[in-house]
Amino acid sequence: MAGGDADTIQAVLDGDVDRYAELVDQYQEQALKLAFSLLGNYEDAKDASQEAFISAYRSLGRFRQGAKFSTWLYRIVVNECKDVYKRRARQPAVVATVGEPDPDLDGAGLFVDVDDPAANPSDQLANRELAQQLSTAIGRLPMNQRTAFLLHHVNGLPLEEVALVMRCRLGTVKSHIFRATD
């Protein structure tokens, strides 16, 4: 674990609870990005990442010194996202639309972004369509395959860290990623 994280965690455990904000500031963007990539909905992702930080704070005493805080936090974020999926499954889905969906308003469902600011307008449109197709395909993956794929390919975590986050063997992670891309 980075020396700064270890010092901050120890300070929080010693009673300087305001220092927890340093961890939130450092990892908030990555946690939100991970939650969004798993859920595809910004509001749900924001709620899940916030709940993950609350859960991490409450469980900080059980954090194993020597481990990476980010890996531990990502595990909590993944669990929160799984809880969101369970709640969604228990709620009936009611959808009412009139006409074609507005792509400008439906960007919240994108898991990936292939935007190239230097591209010309037709290439930007093609990139947006590609992002939508990729996001749709990723959204159809089973949760374990989606999690492994997004952690590794979208969030850039090494395979070994993905295995730690998912609490499974490296070979299992490789299998999930292979199946996701097959």
Least confident stretch, 57-71, 99-113, 141-155, 161-175: 99-113
Average pLDDT estimate for 77-106 = 64
Do residues 148 and 166 touch, judged by C-beta distance below 8 A? yes
Burial (CB < 10 A; 0-12, 13-18, 19+), residue 158, is: exposed
Look at residue 151 and give its three-state secondary structure. helix
Confidence tier at 102 by pLDDT (50, 70, 90): very low
Q: Both tokens of residue 90? A: 């228990």
Least Cα distance to 166 among 156, 176, 180, 155 occurs for: 176
The arithmetic mean of pLDDT across residues 72-99, rounded, is 75
pLDDT at 1: 52
Q: What global pTM score does this model have?
A: 0.70
Q: Quick one: average pLDDT of 86-94?
A: 68
The pLDDT of residue 106 is: 42
Report whether pLDDT(84) > 60. yes
**Average pLDDT, stretch 161-179?**
93
User: What is the C-alpha radius of gyration for the chain, rounded to an integer number of angstroms?
Assistant: 18
Nearest in space to 81 (alpha carbons), one of 44, 113, 54, 109: 44
The pLDDT of 41-61, averaged and rounded, is 94
